[in-house]
């Protein structure tokens, strides 16, 4: 088991799995986002078919149709360039999870209403690829979910422009340690002077 983990770690350190996941997902999200973003009216009609938003909330529906495609394009660009990888992968993970759930629920509704084979169900899911079979779409989304996990969990940062916008978990910079130690000594000395003054006041 430990040998297998060592192999996976060495493979991850090459940066190849991360690079493949980034380019595949990034290119796909840029393409899908542009297809939907350049035709927001058609995308809005597809969103309406999921009945997630009531007809009274048409402003929210318009906002989703106008914003979501460009969020996908932005995520794709960040992945391809290797910027803010963990945050981008987490965002994509959330979007894919929600999208896979609603697509599956819609397919189950069609299966129940029309009483046809589940894998024979096909419709335009709003992903930008047109009409697709549900038994192709679900495995495709699962593959994208796995790739987003690769980006999220990978420790390699090779071939990345700026993987972390705000570096976390790297501890204090070496130059900051002496300054903090000096501040601690000053606070300690100040506390000592205060305690001496208090004791002197009590004796008087």
Say what the pLDDT of residue 178 is. Answer: 52
For residues 137 and 89, the answer to whether their CB atoms sit within 8 Å is: no
Say what the pLDDT of residue 186 is. Answer: 60
DSSP H helical segments within the chain, as ranges? Answer: 2-13, 16-37, 40-49, 58-81, 85-114, 134-153, 176-203
State the sign of the Cα–Cα–Cα–Cα dihedral 82, 84, 87, 91: negative
Say what the pLDDT of residue 150 is. Answer: 94
pTM: 0.75
- At residue 133, the 3 state secondary structure works out as strand
The helix-helix angle for 134-153 and 85-114 (nearest 10°) equals 160
Residues 168-196: pLDDT tens digits? 554 444 444 455 555 556 656 665 554 45
* Residue 35 banded pLDDT, cuts 50, 70, 90: very high
Say what the pLDDT of residue 13 is. Answer: 87
More confident residue, 179 or 159: 159
Say what the pLDDT of residue 181 is. Answer: 52
Q: Which residues of 27-45 are buried (b: 16+ CB within 10 A; e: fewer)?
A: ebbbebbbbbbeebeebbe
Residues 8-18: pLDDT tens digits? 888 888 889 99
Q: Is 117 left (phi over 0), alpha (psi -120 to 50) or beta?
A: beta
CA-only gyration radius of the chain, Å: 27
**Mean per-residue pLDDT for 32-44?**
92
Percent pLDDT > 90 in the chain is 52
* Residue 201 banded pLDDT, cuts 50, 70, 90: very low
Residues 101-131: pLDDT tens digits? 999 999 999 898 888 899 999 999 888 888 9
Kindly tell me if the per-residue pLDDT of 3 is higher than 50: yes
For residues 99 and 141, the answer to whether their CB atoms sit within 8 Å is: yes
Q: How far is CA 134 from the centre of its chain?
A: 24
* Residue 166 banded pLDDT, cuts 50, 70, 90: low
More confident residue, 66 or 185: 66
Burial class of residue 74 in the structure, from the number of CB atoms within 10 Å of its CB (0-12 exposed, 13-18 middle, 19+ buried):
middle
Say what the pLDDT of residue 172 is. Answer: 41
131 pairs with which residues across the strands? 124
Q: How far is CA 116 from the centre of its chain?
A: 35
CA–CA separation, 50 vs 52, rounded Å?
A: 5
């Amino acid at each position: 088991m430990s040998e297998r983990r060592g192999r996976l770690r060495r493979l991850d350190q090459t940066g190849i799995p991360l690079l493949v996941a980034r380019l595949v997902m990034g290119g796909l999200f840029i393409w899908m986002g542009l297809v939907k973003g350049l035709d927001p009216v058609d995308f809005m009609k597809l969103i309406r078919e999921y009945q997630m938003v009531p007809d009274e909330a048409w402003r929210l529906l318009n906002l989703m149709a106008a914003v979501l495609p460009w969020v996908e394009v932005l995520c794709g660009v960040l992945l391809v360039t290797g910027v803010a990888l963990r945050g981008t992968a987490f965002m994509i993970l959330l979007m894919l999870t929600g999208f896979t759930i609603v697509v599956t629920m819609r397919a189950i509704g069609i299966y129940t209403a029309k009483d046809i084979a589940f894998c024979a169900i096909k419709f335009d899911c709003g992903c930008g690829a047109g009409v697709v079979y549900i038994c192709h779409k679900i495995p495709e989304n699962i593959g994208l979910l796995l790739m987003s996990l690769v980006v999220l969990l990978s420790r390699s940062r090779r071939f990345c422009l700026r993987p972390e916008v705000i570096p976390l978990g790297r501890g204090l910079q070496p130059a900051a340690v002496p300054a903090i130690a000096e501040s601690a000594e000053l606070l300690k000395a100040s506390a000592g002077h205060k305690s001496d003054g208090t004791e002197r006041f009590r004796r008087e």
